[in-house]
């Protein structure tokens, strides 16, 4: 199953979007129940949503760290 989650789960109170992935709480909660087409439709909107969030995550996520470690080995 595709997922935009980067393990930074915190909601921007101004926009209602997750700082890590750009989804709303309802989208995150219902993700497993969505069809692949519904998930893709939401994922197509995430880049634009992320542009509306003022504060970006500052820490390196676990997923990013693991990806770096895989690249160096």
For the stretch 20-41, pLDDT in tens is: 999 999 999 999 999 999 999 9
CA distance 31 to 49: 17
Which residues, other chains included, contact 46 with Cβ-Cβ below 8 Å and sequence gap of 6+? 4, 21, 22, 23
For the stretch 36-55, pLDDT in tens is: 999 999 999 999 999 998 77
Find where tokens 């693991």 sit.
Answer: 66
Report yes or no: 26 and 34 within 8 Å, Cβ to Cβ: no
| Model pTM above 0.85 | no
């Amino acid at each position: 199953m595709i997922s935009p989650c980067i393990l930074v789960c915190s909601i921007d109170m101004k926009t209602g979007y997750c700082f890590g992935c750009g989804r709303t709480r309802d989208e995150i909660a219902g993700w497993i129940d969505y069809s692949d087409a519904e998930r893709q439709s939401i994922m197509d909107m995430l880049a634009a949503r992320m542009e509306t969030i003022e504060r970006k995550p500052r820490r390196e996520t676990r997923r990013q760290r693991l990806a770096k470690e895989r690249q160096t080995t």
